[in-house]
Structure 1
Amino acid sequence: MQVPDPSNGSPRRSTPPRKGDGSGTPTRAAALAGLRRTLSEAGFETAALDARLLVLSALEITATDLITDPDRPLTQVEAETLTDFARRRLAREPVARILGEREFWGLPFRLSPETLVPRPDTETVVETALSLVPDRGAPLRIVDFGTGSGALLTALLHELPQAVGIGIDLSEGAARTARGNAWANGVGERSLFVVADWAAALKGPFDLAVSNPPYIASPVVETLEPEVRDHDPRLALDGGPDGLAPYRVLLGEAERLLAPSGLMVLEIGYDQADPVSRLAAERGLEAVRLAHDLGGNPRCIALKRT
């Protein structure tokens, strides 16, 4: 192909894209295309997105860098890092685990082996809770049970500037990770993270209690996708024989912990709206809202004392 030479108007041959720097490393564009093809051939439905995220992280560049300088050859270190990332993804390790962080509610959250990867569907809990708070400037007291990475509590404190909150987790590693995320996102001074078994260490009262508890039935855990089964902590997945064990505990503590006008907002499995509603009613709680996720599935339930 010939393109005009801006210096004198005479035609010149365009320079073909560089394939590397002579050391066998590909260019950024070639590396992206190659990884995308490899993941696609391995059956990954999100191959294009996965490849892009892994390339950007391995090369420590922005999307703009990739667009404006696609023919820059990878350094040896970059190539080795990307090869390791590709190996891990092909072994079904989630991209978020490889990168070490995940965005939730527009905020970055570092992950650790003890924390669940925050899912977009869990943002339904935040949306529902905020929609039921009459005054976002009020000095609310919040508790987050099974806080994990601290995503729910940190997101809520980010939106409720006068609120304070406590995150509870049975895992010390998760509590440490959550504390780091709270400070990194500017709400560390208004949060406290405690290692405890659900509400055992709490007195209350709280204006808002939230949780994304483990709600997968024990026999089902082994049937989950490898990205979940092999990489998310079982403590954050296994909800007991019927998946409802954590709800029995939390709903049983609601009357003691909630302020008279307090709310409890819980994430639920797609088929758990009815059983959780029944458990709540048996414990003197009234369902005030059942919210659905982007897929149209019931995702969280908001409850109040009757």
Structure 2
Amino acid sequence: MSAAAPFAPGLFDCRDAYARTLEALAAEDPRIVAVVNDSVGSSKLGKFRDRFPERLINVGIAEQNMVGVGAGLANGGKIPFVSGAACFLTARALEQIKADVAYSAANVKLCGISSGVAYGELGATHHSIEDLAWLRPMRGLTVIVPSDPWETAEAVKAAAASDQPIFIRISRMPVPELEHRAPFAIGKAEILRDGADVAIIAAGTLVHRALAAAEALAAGGIEARVINMATIAPLDEAAILAAAADCGAIVTAEEHVVRGGLGGAVAEVLATQRPTPMRILGFDGFQPTGSAEWLMERAGLTAAGVAAAARDLVSRKRD
């Protein structure tokens, strides 16, 4: 991918892939519009605005109105991509997401920008680490957490092609491009690395860290299966149950609180269908002010932290 990003070589901002893909789709489909909350810059939709000025609606800092406008546009036959900082889109407009979008099955694409702890220095008010727990229970609302620029672009394409409400969690933290083994498909997990000693199920910015953890584990004789669970809802239960049967131990890792997100979803499947030892890695409640990387390290959301949790599970399994 040739997208420029203000990161070290080989690392990318998924917002670039989002904006570029949305602009390309809009050029082909006049029904696609963007709705923002004074977030043209943070959503990187400046080129979209310049190219399609009549198809970008800026409601100002009014997230509830933004989602309502999106739902109205969908009812009028448009395909609105409602784009704003994930922390404000999901928290401030949760009732509108529930009633106007999910309950009404409106063809709205909710795009949570700069998710997780990307706004680290701005503190807990700007961290979006509870959003999956809020949105995942809403039946009919698809929830996608892409892992890299390619998967972000594919998720946007899949969302545009669907007539169902979808939430896409779009990261701004630097991530590498991964070597994907399968085409992107909503509701389908992807096995990025084979292994039978332990399974690491990760989403978003934790996927490349899970792969690095698996490399470190392999050096110590532990073969870890790495599963990219990009779709949190609907969940690929078959992939989870296969991992439980083959590996007998599961670690989940996500840029989210440990309650109600990917880990909680996996635990629900295991508890009701195949009890399996597991560890849920994530944030434990509100986080302090600090850089995104410092917050990730503080919570053990690093390759070393994931590897340590996996080693602990494997040792318990073998004892």
* TM-score normalised by L of structure 2: 0.29
Higher relative contact order (CA 8 A, sep 6+): 2
* TM-score normalised by L of structure 1: 0.30
Q: Which protein has the larger Cα radius of gyration, Structure 1 or Structure 2?
A: 1
